[in-house]
Amino acid sequence: MPVIQENILHYKVDIRSGRFAANFPAYIHGYNKKDKHILTCVFFENLESVLPENKRVDAVVTMYFYMNKFSLVLDIFRNESPLKIVYDTKGKDCTLITELEPVGEGE
């Protein structure tokens, strides 16, 4: 199965401090309609690091971002519904997708 798609209905945020925050200070976890963990967004503090390749292990997709994208990604989780994860198992490309929305929505 080359492409996996699943709706994200719930999320939680994990902000770390101390020695745990040295490399990965923040995470956003996504859950499906059965409250099954299906996505982890990992945020790197060091902008000079090369981001790891996206992966899927035990039905959980992991996406990697630099910390400067945290607010943008969190905003998508907070304000967009429905939100979907699309993961290409061959190319390991991963995308968060919203549905079509009217221009000026929420203005």
pLDDT in tens, 20-63: 666 678 999 999 999 999 999 999 887 777 888 888 889 899 99
* Each residue's pLDDT tens digit, 69-96: 999 999 999 999 889 999 998 878 899 9
pLDDT number for residue 79? 92
Residue 13, both tokens: 């945020």
Give 7 or 1, the one with higher predicted confidence.
7
Is the predicted pLDDT of residue 98 greater than 80, yes or no? yes
Of 105, 36, 82, 14, the residue nearest 96 (C-alpha): 82
- Do 39 and 85 meet the contact criterion of CB atoms below 8 Å apart? yes
**Average pLDDT of span 3-19:** 90
DSSP strand E in the chain: where? 3-8, 10-15, 26-31, 37-44, 55-57, 60-66, 83-88, 94-98
pLDDT of residue 6: 94
Distance from C-alpha of 66 to C-alpha of 7, rounded to nearest angstrom:
24
